[in-house]
Amino acid sequence: MKKIFLFIIIFLGSCATPIGGAKKVEDIKPQETPSIESIEAGLWMQMNNYEEKLKTSGSRLKDKDLEKYLKDILCKLTAEYCKDIRVYVQNIPYFNAFMAPNGMMVVWTGLLLRAQNEAQLATVIGHEAGHYIKRHSLKSWLDAKSRTDLMAILSIGLAVGGIPGAGDIFNVTQLLQAGFMAKHSRDNEREADKVGLDFLVDAGYDPDEAPKIWENIIKEMELGEASRPLTFLASHPAPEERIENLKEQTEGYENIKNKKNTKELKEKIQPHLKKWIKNEIRLKNKPEQTEFVLEKTFEDNENDYLLKFYKGEIYRLIGVKKEENNYDKAIDYYNESIKAKNDFPDVYKELGLLQIKIEKNEEAKKNLKKYLELAKNPQDAAIIESYLN
Residue pair 123/209 in contact by the 8 Å Cβ criterion: yes
Phi, psi of 303 (to 5 degrees): -110, 25
Give the per-residue pLDDT at 221. 84
In the chain, the amino acid numbered 175 is L
**Which helix (H) or strand (E) segment is 72 a member of?**
helix 64-77
Nearest to 27 by CA among 135, 145, 114: 135
In the chain, the amino acid numbered 101 is P
Give the per-residue pLDDT at 368. 96
For 279-313, the pLDDT digits (tens) are 999 987 889 999 999 999 998 777 899 999 999 99
What residue spans define the domains of the chain? 2-250, 298-388
**Which helix (H) or strand (E) segment is 349 a member of?**
helix 345-357
Architecture per CATH, 298-388: Alpha Horseshoe (1.25)
Burial class from Cβ neighbours inside 10 Å (0-12, 13-18, 19+) for residue 110 reads buried
Give the per-residue pLDDT at 278. 93
Distance separating alpha carbons of residues 11 and 185, to the nearest angstrom: 23
Distance separating alpha carbons of residues 155 and 51, to the nearest angstrom: 37
Distance separating alpha carbons of residues 155 and 8, to the nearest angstrom: 10
Q: Counting runs of H as helices and runs of E as strands, what totals does the chain give?
A: 17, 5
Nearest to 145 by CA among 10, 39, 7: 39
Distance separating alpha carbons of residues 269 and 276, to the nearest angstrom: 9
Point out the residues of the chain with pLDDT beneath 50: 4-22, 158-170, 172-184, 227, 229, 235
Reading across the β-sheet that carries 97-99, which strands appear in turn? 86-90, 104-108, 97-99
Give the per-residue pLDDT at 13. 45
Nearest to 100 by CA among 132, 133, 126: 132
Give the per-residue pLDDT at 163. 42
Give the per-residue pLDDT at 239. 67
Nearest to 239 by CA among 224, 218, 263: 218
